[in-house]
Chain A
Amino acid sequence: GDSVTQMEGPVTLSEEAFLTINCTYTATGYPSLFWYVQYPGEGLQLLLKATKADDKGSNKGFEATYRKETTSFHLEKGSVQVSDSAVYFCALLGYGGATNKLIFGTGTLLAVQP
Chain B
Amino acid sequence: NAGVTQTPKFQVLKTGQSMTLQCAQDMNHEYMSWYRQDPGMGLRLIHYSVGAGITDQGEVPNGYNVSRSTTEDFPLRLLSAAPSQTSVYFCASMWDRNTEAFFGQGTRLTVV
Contact = CB atoms under 8 A, between A and B. Distances in A.
A93 B41 CA distance: 18
A48 to B, nearest CB: 10
A100 B48 contact: yes
A93 B44 CA distance: 13
Interface residues of A, number: 22
Contact of A43 (B42, B58, B97, B104): B104
Contacts of B100: 34, 46, 49
Interface residues of B, number: 24
Contacts of A36: 101
B92 A102 contact: yes
Given A42-B105, A43-B104, A44-B101, 11 more contacts: A43-B103, A45-B103, A46-B100, A49-B100, A89-B43, A95-B97, A100-B31, A102-B33, A102-B101, A104-B43, A105-B42
